[in-house]
């Protein structure tokens, strides 16, 4: 029986070490691969980053890339979903499958507009019914969407 491919979280130019550390811990808990696209707003050796990930870093499959294009080139058959507050389709409408890539932009600006334009059919958002905030925290968003993907894939009950 073939092994189920892991999901992938891609953080494009993350800026805040504790967010990335929390997401690393999430990835360790779920067997998800964490991809970081440079430039990073911190060093991989950052104390806050390590602290947020606790002692789970040894359980994280971490890949660091210089550009998002390298990820696309390395995984030409990959299915990529792009999270943005500007997307018109809810993440709940997405059809996630094992091996998919869930891509998030930097905390202060999100993903570049051209990436969202080129990939409008796979751009998704987390609805915020109260409209009281511009966006959710990056690590919160990653957890919400990843657990929905895992649920759809039957990897959690």
Q: What is the domain count for the chain? A: 1
- First CA to last CA across the chain, in angstroms? 21
Q: Does pLDDT of 3 surpass 90? A: no
Residue 63 lies in a domain: yes
On whether 105 is known to bind a ligand per the annotation, the reply is yes
Contact 94, 125 (CB under 8 A): no
Residue 3 lies in a domain: no
- For the entire predicted model, the pTM comes to 0.93
Q: Does pLDDT of 1 surpass 60? A: no
Residue 112 lies in a domain: yes
On whether 62 is known to bind a ligand per the annotation, the reply is no
44 or 36: which leads in pLDDT: 36
Whichever domain contains 45, its CATH number is: 3.40.1280.10
On whether 126 is known to bind a ligand per the annotation, the reply is yes
Nearest by Cα to 24 from 121, 143, 132: 143
Residue 1 lies in a domain: no
| Average pLDDT of span 138-155 | 97
| Average pLDDT of span 13-23 | 93
Contact 122, 80 (CB under 8 A): yes
Residue 141 lies in a domain: yes
Res 25: pLDDT: 92
Residue 67 lies in a domain: yes
Residue 88 lies in a domain: yes
Full domain range(s) for residue 36: 8-153
Res 51: pLDDT: 66
| Average pLDDT of span 18-40 | 95
Residue 2 lies in a domain: no
């Amino acid at each position: 029986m073939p092994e189920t491919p892991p999901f992938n979280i891609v953080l494009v130019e993350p800026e805040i070490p504790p967010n990335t550390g929390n997401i690393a811990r999430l990835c360790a808990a779920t067997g998800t691969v964490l991809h970081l696209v440079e430039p990073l707003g911190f060093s991989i050796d950052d104390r806050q980053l390590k602290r947020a990930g606790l002692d789970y870093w040894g359980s994280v499959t971490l890949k660091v890339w210089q550009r998002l294009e390298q990820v696309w080139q390395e995984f030409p058959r990959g299915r990529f979903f792009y999270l943005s507050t500007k997307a018109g389709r809810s993440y709940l409408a997405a059809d996630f499958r094992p091996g998919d890539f869930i891509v998030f932009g930097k905390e202060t600006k999100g993903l570049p507009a051209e990436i969202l334009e080129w990939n409008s059919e796979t751009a998704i958002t987390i609805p915020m019914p109260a409209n009281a905030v511009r966006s959710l925290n990056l690590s919160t968003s990653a957890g919400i969407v990843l657990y929905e993907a895992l649920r759809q894939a039957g990897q959690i009950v």
